[in-house]
Amino acid sequence: MLTEKPSGTPAPAARTAGAPVDLDSLVCYFEGRFVPMSEAKVSIMTHAFMYGTAVFEGIRAYWNAEEGQLYGLKIREHVERIRANCRMLLMEPVPSVDELSALIVETVRRNGFREDTYIRPSFYKSSRAIGVRLHHLEHQLYIVALPFGNYIETEHGVRIMSSSWRRNADEALPARGKIVGGYVNMAFQKSEAELNGFDEALVMTPDGHASEASAANLFVVRDGVLITPPVSDDILEGVTRRAIVELARDEGLAVEVRSIDRSELYIADEVFLCGTGVQVSPVIEIDHRKVGSGEVGPIGRQIRDRYFDAVRGRIPAYRHWLTPIYERD
């Protein structure tokens, strides 16, 4: 599967930040080669296209203008998770953590981005075949990267609603894995929320506990303590969630991992979402009820500001989260 290795050639001319993106001209890694995205094509008979049999990661890279550096955020942790998810879908062999991390960095580097970037590696069942199954199918890898800003606007907080759609349970379709077909579940939730005038959906477990948002983990603040649902409540094992727990404890904040009742959200002091897409997004309203004062709370603001400084390389204590994309003399 791994055929073309990362090169040592100089980085290309930098893209102008904010310039219109010609997706076809961006460089991606596709089935063993670095090619323009215009050349990355699959057949409509591809198993992953027909049945959603693929896993993926969403990774961010953050531009630090003062240093002239783009920092990939927790690349190795994302790579470790996608490799674990590949095992769920009977995809073996796959590149090592070092090999795949290097391919991700090289894909971004070849595009010369000088702005915040989204990176999506995906392993997918590439056989052209009819029939629902996971076994006896070939798989391939692609990696795309493109400029990317905010998934949702978060400066003044977001409004969320309890979705009528439940999270898929682990015994049906594992939520802990980023399985492409499973994201149809999240699409139902997200569209329901947005078409009803909200920014995001709050998803419940079958027994009525708060699970997460359509594509983000959940934190609740009560009496200065951060509370987040356990993995057993059908949540994604979030890389950003782990980072927030680390950051919060470093700030002297207590963190509890336990189930959260729906009504507890209504009386919480603060609520915020976190994830690669939403980053850190304080919640100011749930189901037409104000959260706390109805404004971004002090702990959510503290976590958000600290997080954004960390991911741009401004806090030495969190440099271990970051991978520089561009080589420097």
Q: What is the pLDDT of residues 88-98, one digit of tens each?
A: 999 999 999 99
Pick the CATH number of 158-311 from 3.30.750.24, 1.10.357.10, 3.30.465.10, 3.20.10.10: 3.20.10.10
For residue 172, which phi and psi values (nearest 5 degrees)? -105, -55
Please provide the CATH number assigned to the domain covering 23-149.
3.30.470.10
For residue 322, which phi and psi values (nearest 5 degrees)? -110, 145
With CA atoms as reference, report the closest residue to 208 among 173, 162, 172: 162
The pTM (predicted TM-score) of the whole model is: 0.92
Contact predicate 229/235, CB 8 Å:
yes
Residue 1: pLDDT over 60: no
Residue 20: pLDDT over 80: no
C-alpha distances in Å from residue 308, one per residue of 17, 61, 163: 19, 12, 29
Residue 255: pLDDT over 50: yes
Residue 8: pLDDT over 60: no
Counting residues of the chain whose pLDDT is more than 90, the rounded percentage is 86
**Whats the size of the chain, residue-wise?**
329
pLDDT value for 168: 85
Contact predicate 180/48, CB 8 Å:
yes
pLDDT value for 247: 97
Contact predicate 74/80, CB 8 Å:
no
* Tens of pLDDT, residues 113-164: 999 999 999 999 999 999 999 999 999 999 999 998 877 776 789 999 999 9
pLDDT value for 15: 58
Q: Identity (one letter) of the amino acid at 136?
A: H
Residue 10: pLDDT over 50: no
Give the residue-averaged pLDDT of 23-49.
97
| Coil vs helix vs strand at 3 | coil
> CB within 8 A of 39, min separation 6: which ones?
30
pLDDT-based confidence at residue 170 (cuts at 50, 70, 90): confident
Q: Is 49 left (phi over 0), alpha (psi -120 to 50) or beta?
A: alpha
Query: Distance between CA 259 and CA 202 in Å, rounded?
Result: 14
What are the sequence ranges of the domains in the chain? 23-149, 158-311
Taking the C-alpha atoms of 74, 78, 79 and 85 in order, what is their torsion angle to the nearest 10 degrees?
170
pLDDT value for 155: 75
Q: ∠ CA 49-148-323 to the nearest 5 degrees?
A: 95
Query: Distance between CA 72 and CA 106 in Å, rounded?
Result: 11
Q: What does the block give as tokens for 197?
A: 């005038």
* Tens of pLDDT, residues 189-247: 999 999 999 999 999 998 899 999 999 999 999 999 999 999 999 999 999 999 999 99
Three-state helix/strand/coil letters over 115-134: CCEEEEEEEEECCECCCCCC
Query: Distance between CA 42 and CA 176 in Å, rounded?
Result: 27
Contact predicate 64/324, CB 8 Å:
no
DSSP label at residue 102: H
pLDDT value for 16: 59
Q: Identity (one letter) of the amino acid at 140?
A: Q
Token pair 């609740």 is at which residue?
A: 220
Beta-bridge mates of residue 220? 227, 271
pLDDT value for 95: 98
pLDDT value for 212: 97
pLDDT value for 60: 98
Query: Distance between CA 246 and CA 63 in Å, rounded?
Result: 22
Query: Distance between CA 125 and CA 54 in Å, rounded?
Result: 6
Query: Distance between CA 217 and CA 306 in Å, rounded?
Result: 18
On average, the pLDDT of the chain sits at 93
CA atoms within 13 A on the CB side of 7: 12
